[in-house]
Structure 1
C-alpha cells in the first residue's frame, strides 16, 4: 500500500513537471514570435509555481517592458527586493526598467546600487555583470567584473571582460584582457587562441595583429613565460611567417627540451603551405634534437618529400644516403614509399618503384604500413594503366581497413580508376556517396568529378568526348603534361559548343599554369569568362586570373580588377570572401 502511495506521488509530480515544461516551451515560442502578452500570461503562472527561477522571472519582466507595462515590472521588482534585499542583481533590472522609459538619472542610481552591492554580496557579481552585458550596458559590466576581481584575487573574469571589450570595438583592451586571462590560468591557452583567431588575420600589417603582438611583447617583458613564445608562434603561423614562428619554437624548446610537438606541427603547416625552406628548418631541428626514433624517421621522410617538391638535383643521392645510413627496414619503409612515388611520377620508372615497394612490404611490421604500401602499389598500377589490378588492391584495402580517412581516400581512388577505365556508371555510384564525405577535400573532389561525368556522359556510341577527356586526365595523373595539353587542344577544337569544351579549357588552363605557360593559361580563362552563363567556370576563371596576376605576373592592378568582378558580379561564389579580402588588401584598406 505504501509503495502504491509513493508511486502516486511520483506520478503526480511527474505530470506537474511535464505540464510546467510544456508551458515554458509554449511561452518561449510566444516570446520569440514577439507575442509578449500571451507569453506574459504563461510566464506569470510559471513564476508563481517557481518563484526562484531567474529565467522565468526575467522573461516576465521583459514581456511587461516590451508591452510598455513599466509600472507592472517596477512593482514586481520593488516587491521582490523588499522580500529579499540580498538579491541585489534586481537593481540592474529595475534600473533598466527606468532606462526603457528614458529616465536616465533614476536608472543610473540603481545601476550604481547594483555595483556597490558587490562589496557586500560578491557572489552576485557574475549575475550583475551578465545582466549589464545583456542590457548592452557594457561599461557597467566591465566595472562589475573589475570590482569582483578586486574583491577576490583568485577570480579570473578576464575572458568575460575581453569579450565585452571586443563588443565595444576596443581591441587593444580586449587583447590585454585575453593575455591577462591566460597569464592567470595556463590551461586557457587554447581558449584564448580560439577566440583571438576571430580578430587576427593572415596579414601581418593588420592593426589587430599588431595589437595582439604588442600585448604579448608587453606581458613577456614584465613576466617572461613559455606561454608567450607559444602565442607568438601561433600568431606568426597565422600570418604565414613560418621563419619567425620557428624562432619562437626554438625558444620553447630551450625552456622544455622534452617537447618538440610544436616544432613538428609547424613543419607540417609550413610544408602544406609550400614554405619548404621553413619546413626544412623545422624538420632538421627535430632530427638533431629528438630522442625518439619514430620522430626522427618522420622528420627524415618529410625532408625527402621537400627535396622532391623542390626538384633538387641530387635527390637520388639523398635517398641513397638515407638508406645507406639507416638501412632498408620497417623504420625507413615510409621513406621507401616516398622514393617509389618519386621514381614513378617524376622519373617515369614505375617498374623500379614497384620492386622497391614489394621488397619493402616484406619488412613492413605494422598493419598501417602494410596497408599504405599496397595503397601506393595500386597508385603505380593506375599509372601503368593496369586498372583492373589496381582496383583489386583498392577494393581489398577498402574492405579491410577502418584506419582514419583512408577508406574514403581509397573509395575515391576506386571511382577515379573506374573513370580512367571508362566505367563511368560505377564511378558515379562511388562518387555519389563520397559527395557527403566529412572530409571537405574528398567531398569537393568527388562532387567535381561527379558533375564532370554527369554533364558529359556519352549519349551514343559515337560520342567519345568524355573518354578523350579521361585520357587527358590520366596523362595529367601520370605527370605527362605536354601530352595531356595536346589531347585537350583536340577536344577544344573538335567539340566546340558542346558541354565538354569548357571542362577542357579549364583543365588545360590548370596544366598550363603548372607548366608556367601563363599567357596561354590567361587565354583559356578569358575564353571561359566570355562564355558567360553557358559555363559554370566563370567565377573560377576570374579568381585564378586574379591569382595569376597577383602572385606570378606581379600585376596587382589587374589582380584587383578580377577580384572586383567576383565581388560585384558573383555574390554567391565560393571565392567571394577570399576575393573581397584580397581586393581590399590590394586597395590598401585598413581592416579591423
Structure 2
C-alpha cells in the first residue's frame, strides 16, 4: 500500500516537470543539429503552448529538414491568427526556400504595406527581413517607418548597420553622421561601430570615405565640435598623432579652449612613445599661461615627455641631457618642491645620477624630497630606495644598506619591502658578506612576488 501511495504522491510532480524536460531536450537536440528529434519535442510543445518562441523553433526545424510544406502550413496558420507583419515575412522566407520568388515577393510587399506608425513594430519587421538576409527590404522597412512616423531623424543607427552589412560604406558613414547630428550621445556607439567596420591600421577607401565626410561636415558647420572630435579620434586610431595634434590645436584655438583635448592627446602620444608629439601637446597647453587649471599638469607632462624623448636614445647627447636637467629644475622652481611634484624630483635625481654622473646633486634632490611634510609612507619608502641606489653608485655601501633596511622593516610584508630586502642582499653580495646575503635570499625565494623570487634565485 505504501509504495502505491508514494507513487501517487510523486506522479503529479513528475508530470509537472515534463514540459521543462521536453524543452530542455528540444533545445539540446536543436543545438546539436539533430533536428529530427528536436522536431518531435517542438511539435508537442507548440501544441501545448503556441508561444512565439516555440513557433520560431518549430519553423526553423521544419526548414532545416527541408519540410517546406509543413513550414508553409505553420506560417500560414500564424498569419491567419495574427496581424503581425513578421509572420508574412516568415511565409515569404519559406517560399524563397521553395524557389518561388514571386510568392515570396508578394508576402514581403504585403508585410511592408501592413506596417503601422509604431517604432517597435517597424523594428520588428526590419529585424525579420534582416534575419532572412533581405537587407534591402529591411532598409525599405525603416525608410517607410520614417514616413509613417513623419520623422526622418529616427532609425539612423539601424540603417547604418544595415548599410554596413551590405558593404555600402558610404551610406553607412552618412547614416552614422546623421545620427550624431540628431543625438551626440551616440558618439561612443558610433566609434565602436566604425571600429568594427573600418580597419584603421591600413589606409583604404573606407577610412578615406570617413575622413572626406567628416571634413565636409566640419566645413559646412564649423560650430559642430562632434565631427571634429570624431576626426581627431580617427587620426588617433590610425596612429597619425601629428594630424591629430594639428586638428586638436586648431579646434582649441577656434573655441578658445583651455587645452583639455591637447592634454588628452599628449597622454595618448606619451603612452604610444610618440614623444615629439607629446612634447608639442604639453608645450601648447603650457604656452596658454599659468592661470589655466591645466598649466601645472602640462608643465609636468612636458618634462616627462622630454625625459622619455631624450633617455630613450641609445646614447643621448650631453647637451640634450643638460637641457633636460635644466627643464626639470625650472619646472620645480616654478611649481614648487611639494608632495605633488615628488615624481618630478625623482626624475631629476635619475638624470643627475645616472646620465650626468652628478651624484651629489642627486642626493641633494632626494634629501629635499624626503624632508617634505605629509609624504605618503609608500612615497617616502620609494624615495629612500632611490637615495640608497645613489649611495651605491658612490660606493657608500653602509649608508645604502641602512636605507634599504628601513624600508624592509617598515614594509616587511609588501612588495616594496621585498624589493628593499633584495637590493640589500645584492649589495651585501658584492660587498662580500655572503652569509648575510644568503640568509636574506632564502627568505625572498618564498616571496609571493614571482619577479622578486626569481631575482633572488638568479642572484
Using the alignment, how far apart are the partners of 2:29 and 2:417 within structure 1? 49
Counterpart secondary structure, 2:294: helix
Structure 2 partner of 1:37: 36
The structure having more radius of gyration, on CA atoms, is 2
Per mean C-alpha deviation after superposition, the further-off stretch among 238-247 and 93-102 is: 238-247
Per mean C-alpha deviation after superposition, the further-off stretch among 204-213 and 21-30 is: 21-30
1:78, distance to aligned residue in structure 2 (A) = 1.3
- Listed as ranges, the matches of 1:481-496 within 5 Å are none
1:90, distance to aligned residue in structure 2 (A) = 0.6
Question: 154, 174, 177: which is aligned to 1:176?
Answer: 174
Question: 328, 332, 346: which is aligned to 1:337?
Answer: 346
Checking the alignment, whether the CA contact within 8 Å between 1:203 and 1:239 is kept in structure 2 is yes
TM-score with structure 1 length normalisation? 0.61
1:73, distance to aligned residue in structure 2 (A) = 1.8
CA deviation string 1:120-151 (max 9, x = no partner): 66542111111221222222122222222333
Using the alignment, how far apart are the partners of 2:176 and 2:385 within structure 1? 50
Matched, 1:77 2:75: yes
- Listed as ranges, the matches of 1:496-515 within 5 Å are none
Per mean C-alpha deviation after superposition, the further-off stretch among 373-382 and 27-36 is: 373-382
Q: 1:391 to 1:216 in 2, by over 3 A?
A: farther
Question: 102, 108, 112: which is aligned to 1:105?
Answer: 102
- Listed as ranges, the matches of 1:225-264 within 5 Å are 225-254=224-253, 257=256, 260-264=259-263
Counterpart secondary structure, 2:337: coil
Structure 1 partner of 2:209: 211
Using the alignment, how far apart are the partners of 2:442 and 2:56 within structure 1? 62
Matched, 1:60 2:38: no
Contiguous gaps of at least 5 residues in structure 1: 1-11, 401-406, 435-445, 458-465, 468-592
Structure 1 partner of 2:325: 316
CA deviation string 1:72-109 (max 9, x = no partner): 2222221222122x211111111101111111111111
Checking the alignment, whether the CA contact within 8 Å between 2:259 and 2:294 is kept in structure 1 is no
Q: 1:110 to 1:216 in 2, by over 3 A?
A: same
Using the alignment, how far apart are the partners of 2:417 and 2:94 within structure 1? 62
1:200, distance to aligned residue in structure 2 (A) = 3.6
Checking the alignment, whether the CA contact within 8 Å between 1:418 and 1:427 is kept in structure 2 is no
Structure 2 partner of 1:363: 372
Using the alignment, how far apart are the partners of 2:239 and 2:129 within structure 1? 39
Per mean C-alpha deviation after superposition, the further-off stretch among 247-256 and 308-317 is: 247-256
Q: 1:118 to 1:215 in 2, by over 3 A?
A: farther
Q: 1:328 to 1:162 in 2, by over 3 A?
A: same
RMSD: 3.7
Structure 2 partner of 1:521: none
Using the alignment, how far apart are the partners of 1:61 and 1:23 within structure 2? 17
Using the alignment, how far apart are the partners of 1:32 and 1:381 within structure 2? 65
Matched, 1:115 2:117: no
Matched, 1:140 2:140: no
Per mean C-alpha deviation after superposition, the further-off stretch among 140-149 and 155-164 is: 155-164
Checking the alignment, whether the CA contact within 8 Å between 1:337 and 1:373 is kept in structure 2 is no
Question: 382, 387, 393: which is aligned to 2:407?
Answer: 393
Structure 2 partner of 1:552: none
Q: 1:23 to 1:182 in 2, by over 3 A?
A: farther
Checking the alignment, whether the CA contact within 8 Å between 1:130 and 1:141 is kept in structure 2 is yes
1:187, distance to aligned residue in structure 2 (A) = 0.6
Q: 1:35 to 1:322 in 2, by over 3 A?
A: same
Using the alignment, how far apart are the partners of 1:424 and 1:130 within structure 2? 66
Counterpart secondary structure, 2:339: coil
Counterpart secondary structure, 2:50: coil
CA deviation string 1:356-406 (max 9, x = no partner): 234224436464xx5345335425545738589548637856957xxxxxx
Checking the alignment, whether the CA contact within 8 Å between 1:344 and 1:353 is kept in structure 2 is yes
Q: How many correspondences in the alignment? A: 416
- Listed as ranges, the matches of 1:285-300 within 5 Å are 285-289=284-288, 295-300=294-299
TM-score with structure 2 length normalisation? 0.77
Q: 1:93 to 1:266 in 2, by over 3 A?
A: same
Checking the alignment, whether the CA contact within 8 Å between 1:20 and 1:46 is kept in structure 2 is yes
Q: 1:74 to 1:414 in 2, by over 3 A?
A: farther
Checking the alignment, whether the CA contact within 8 Å between 1:30 and 1:39 is kept in structure 2 is yes
Using the alignment, how far apart are the partners of 1:134 and 1:377 within structure 2? 65
CA deviation string 1:450-495 (max 9, x = no partner): 6xx89xx7xxxxxxxx55xxxxxxxxxxxxxxxxxxxxxxxxxxxx
Using the alignment, how far apart are the partners of 1:62 and 1:142 within structure 2? 24
Q: 1:66 to 1:92 in 2, by over 3 A?
A: same
Structure 2 partner of 1:6: none
